[in-house]
A and B are shown apart, each in its own frame.
Chain A
Amino acid sequence: MDAGINWTALAVFVFFFVLVTVMGFWASRWMAGPSNKGAHLDEWGLGGRNFGAWITWFLVGGDFYTAYTVIAVPALVYAVGAYGFFALPYTILVYPIVFLIMPKLWHAAHKAGHVTAADVVYGRYQSRPLEFAIALTGVVATMPYIALQLIGMEVVIKALGLTGELPLLAAFVILALYTYSAGLRAPALIAFVKDLMIYIVVLVAVVVVPAKLGGYGVVFDSAREVFANKGGATGLTLKPSQFLPFATLALGSAMAAFMYPHTLTGIFAAKDANTIRKNAVFLPAYTVLLGLIALLGFMAYAAGVKVQTNNDVVPALFNGLFPSWFAGFAFAAIAIGALVPAAVMSIGASNLFTRNFWKPYVNPGISNEGEAKVAKVVSLVVKLGALVFILFLPTKFALDLQLLGGVWILQTFPALVFGLFVGWFGARALLCGWAVGIVCGSWMAFADGIKPVHSFTVGGDQYSMYTGLIALALNIVVAVVANLVLGKGSRPALRSAA
């Protein structure tokens, strides 16, 4: 990237950043309807549970397709080609899963006033240890995810020509303050601006870039040529050894996606179950966008973009092919695209902390007002943690933890989902399954040197699969066996939550 500050781009960038900051602070008064409960966790942490189909669409889309996605997916496609496209089947398959599971989860949460996944689990099984396991997994898996959003922001700030940690710090303080004051309403409102900007950027890019380079045929041809010279497991199509990793990564990621606290927060904030069903129908629109974004990785080859680290591919492409003002607009879109999910993630983690650590173990008699207060403070701590992470630890550490986080969060699937459909499982069995899944999943990942896929040999043939999915299979097997051995336990399976 060229040295020196790109002033035009920077000016456009700052303009949009200030715009969303103002919106963020104003958001505390937005959508505060007649049902407003004042100082209550439902208001701060779930926006009053009043979001209709449109707001939910922007909110869930905004926190599911993150700034890091915009940077990392094209970077992966740039590096390995077809394999990086597993993000496409992943973000398609997630919607049938959302459609079948999430309305049921919403009902369970709404009836009893649950705010988090761990609340729902406790409500169903009345087991503090299982609740603790689910909440802990959620918090731990979310932290590196927030850190990744900062990496996304760092990449575009660097592309503007700014150096040092100060710009990132400033962006972060702003984010922390308006999340503190407006809660989930801030990212929900900002998501409108973010998405509008991202859509404009991507639509312009996928029309203009190929037009400048000579069409999509040329884009794919130049990528094919580069991969042919590079050799290895790269190319415009998959190698047979990549079939199973590709499919299992897509499926496992799709099952894990809505186990994360931030995506669930979007679900719990919906005003009714049909809002969620409608969103399962219309959210795939974002997947088209994601697929087009992924293609930027190939366009970089046609444009002859050279980068030191793969993550710089998208910024380099915009800096190279577009006028400064549009590059600034694109970078602002990506940076704001980091704010929305980072805010929702920190809110999701704070909700978990407040409801499932603070309330049961520190202050069981806490008032609604007290809950909201604790959550607000925790949201600051969580974000500070992520910032420290980025400033003082190597980036690779955040990436590794994020990968492990995916494996871990997938292990909460049985505890959270099975109870919605069958009443057969007991808390102790699910806890055994969870523990085995976490331990085996982490062990496999570490043994492989933190790789997403694990290889094993069956009858002389090597098979590679997504580690998280293998761990989930073990998890379920152990839960079934443990349930047969231990029985369901004598506690009542259903009682409204305390």
Chain B
Amino acid sequence: MRLLLLLPFIGLLWVPFYNKELPALWGFPFFYWYQFAWVPLTSLLIWLVFRDGLKKGEE
């Protein structure tokens, strides 16, 4: 479960993958909206791991 927390690191540190302007979204070049998209995504991933930990009674 904790491996999910690796995803933001891969997604954001692999810079060449998102270093482009297209496709744009509401005027935002890809470079920008892609990074913004990782904010809620990372929150969601941490929440999933947190909930999993609660179920297992982690202290």
Stretch at the interface among A136-144, A283-291, A332-340: A283-291
Contact with A along B1-43 (1 / 0, CB 8 A): 0100100110011111001110010111101100110111011
Bound Cα distance from A107 to B59, whole angstroms: 9
Bound Cα distance from A220 to B32, whole angstroms: 10
The prevalent SS among residues of A at the interface is helix
Asked if B27 and A216 make an inter-chain contact with CB atoms under 8 angstroms apart, the answer reads yes
- CB contact between A282 and one of B15, B19, B43 (< 8 Å): that residue: B43
Shortest CB-to-CB span from A364 to chain B, Å, is: 33
Query: Taking A216-B28, A237-B31 as contacts, is the C-beta distance between A96 and B39 under 8 angstroms?
Result: no
**A494 adjacent to chain B (CB < 8 Å):** no
Asked if B40 and A273 make an inter-chain contact with CB atoms under 8 angstroms apart, the answer reads no
A238, A251, A284: most-surrounded residue (chain B CB, <10 A): A284
Asked if A216 and B26 make an inter-chain contact with CB atoms under 8 angstroms apart, the answer reads yes
- CB contact between A247 and one of B2, B15, B24, B59 (< 8 Å): that residue: B15
Write out the residue numbers on chain B whose beta carbons fall within 8 Å of the beta carbon of A486: none
Write out the residue numbers on chain A whose beta carbons fall within 8 Å of the beta carbon of B50: 99, 277-278, 280-281
Bound Cα distance from A218 to B26, whole angstroms: 11
Shortest CB-to-CB span from A246 to chain B, Å, is: 6
Contact with B along A224-260 (1 / 0, CB 8 A): 0000000000001110100100110011000000000
Asked if A273 and B59 make an inter-chain contact with CB atoms under 8 angstroms apart, the answer reads yes
Bound Cα distance from A237 to B27, whole angstroms: 14
Stretch at the interface among A17-25, A39-47, A87-95, A412-420: A87-95
Contact with B along A341-380 (1 / 0, CB 8 A): 0000000000000000000000000000000000000000
- CB contact between A237 and one of B14, B29, B36, B45 (< 8 Å): that residue: B29
Bound Cα distance from A24 to B36, whole angstroms: 35
A92, A247, A282, A287: most-surrounded residue (chain B CB, <10 A): A92
- CB contact between A85 and one of B2, B20, B21, B32 (< 8 Å): that residue: B32
44-82 of chain A: CB within 8 A of chain B = 82
Write out the residue numbers on chain B whose beta carbons fall within 8 Å of the beta carbon of A82: 19, 31
Bound Cα distance from A217 to B22, whole angstroms: 13
Please report the total number of A residues contacting B with Cβ < 8 Å: 39
**A215 adjacent to chain B (CB < 8 Å):** yes
Shortest CB-to-CB span from B43 to chain A, Å, is: 5
**A100 adjacent to chain B (CB < 8 Å):** yes
Shortest CB-to-CB span from A45 to chain B, Å, is: 25
List residues of A whose CB falls within 8 A of some B CB: 82, 85, 88-89, 92-93, 95-96, 99-100, 107, 215-220, 236-238, 240, 243, 246-247, 250-251, 273-274, 277-278, 280-282, 284-285, 287-288, 291, 295
List residues of B whose CB falls within 8 A of some A CB: 2, 5, 8-9, 12-16, 19-21, 24, 26-29, 31-32, 35-36, 38-40, 42-43, 45-47, 49-50, 53-54, 59
Closest 7 CB pairs of A and B: A216-B27, A217-B27, A89-B12, A96-B5, A243-B15, A247-B13, A281-B47
27 contacts between A and B (CB under 8 A): A85-B31, A89-B12, A92-B8, A92-B39, A93-B13, A93-B42, A215-B27, A216-B27, A218-B27, A220-B28, A220-B29, A237-B19, A237-B29, A238-B31, A240-B16, A243-B16, A247-B12, A247-B13, A247-B14, A247-B15, A251-B9, A251-B13, A281-B46, A284-B42, A287-B39, A291-B35, A291-B39
